[in-house]
Amino acid sequence: MIKAQSKLNDARLASRIGYQFKQPELLQLALTHRSVSHKTNYERLEFLGDSLLGMIIANYLYHAYPHENEGRLTRMRATLVRQEALGKIANDLKLSQNLILSTGELKSGGHHRESILADTVESIIGAIYVDCQDLKILEAIVLKWYVPYLDIIEPSDQLKDPKSRLQEYLQARKKPLPVYEVVDIQGDAPNQHFKVECIVDGLPVKYGEGSSRRFAEQAVAADILEILEKKS
């Protein structure tokens, strides 16, 4: 029964990822945190996935922005591959429910920790490549994950974080500035998970989560920006 449930969960995850593994053990390895095993974990796949992701995003930006210089392209790539962006993709793929963690890591909120989720996205990228050995297939999958985020990145604002952009958006419209407050902290330092609420005039209270107060604030600011930009 447990094995059947595990296979069902793997099938659902494969569907969300958009790739069916020929070697399912690679997906299992990509989900296995080092707290479970120091020898058999996702770190080698993460190493590979990190380089592959950087190349895929660099190639996309090179062709999508033919008139931008190297410096701006580099900063745009950094925005798209940083922990915050990967954490969002992990949430889109609902990876937290499939992570393989030790009991201690699970109790400390590891399945919601942005750093672990970001690492897992990279390890899955590495696992897909090892399984298919086809860069074109991998590129199509990764860029599909990025669809919600590729259209909103602009060469002019790639250096500005979501909090700064939200503040500028509200100031330009003479609106009150957002108010952030930590409403929950799980785990012990340095492995804590923060939940922050953000109050913006005219909107329902929104919440963001992350491995630090800053990451949680950035996450909720990004969500609010998306809502406001859709309204305008």
Say whether 119 counts as a known binding-site residue.
yes
Q: What is d(CA 129, CA 223) in angstroms, rounded to the nearest whole number?
A: 31
List the beta bridge partners of residue 206.
Answer: 198
Q: Quick check: do 14-150 and 162-231 share a fold?
A: no
Distances (CA, A) of 102 to 4, 41, 90, 216: 21, 12, 19, 24
Q: Cβ neighbours of residue 129 under 8 Å, at least 6 residues apart? A: 48, 49, 52, 135, 138
Query: What's the pTM value of the predicted model, to 2 decimals?
Result: 0.69
Say whether 139 counts as a known binding-site residue.
no
CA 199 distance to own-chain centroid: 23
Where do the DSSP E strands lie in 29-178?
Answer: none
Point out the residues that are catalytic: 50, 122
Q: Predicted confidence band at 112 (pLDDT cuts at 50, 70, 90)?
A: confident
Can you give the length of the chain in residues?
Answer: 232
Q: What is the CATH number of domain 14-150?
A: 1.10.1520.10
The domains of the chain are located at 14-150, 162-231
Mean pLDDT estimate for the chain = 88
Q: What is d(CA 87, CA 67) in angstroms, rounded to the nearest whole number?
A: 30
**162-231, what's its fold?**
Double Stranded RNA Binding Domain (3.30.160)
Say whether 46 counts as a known binding-site residue.
yes
Q: Which is higher by pLDDT, 172 or 54?
A: 54
Tell me the per-residue pLDDT of 158-204, one tens digit each, with 9 for 90 and over: 556 788 889 988 998 999 999 999 999 988 776 788 899 999 999 99
Residue 82 in this model has a pLDDT that exceeds 60? yes
User: In the prediction, which pLDDT does 5 show?
Assistant: 42
CA 26 distance to own-chain centroid: 20
Cis peptide before 190 (omega within 30 of 0): yes
Looking at residue 32, its amino acid is T
Where do the DSSP E strands lie in the chain?
Answer: 179-186, 193-199, 206-210
Residue 51 in this model has a pLDDT that exceeds 60? yes
Q: What is d(CA 108, CA 86) in angstroms, rounded to the nearest whole number?
A: 21
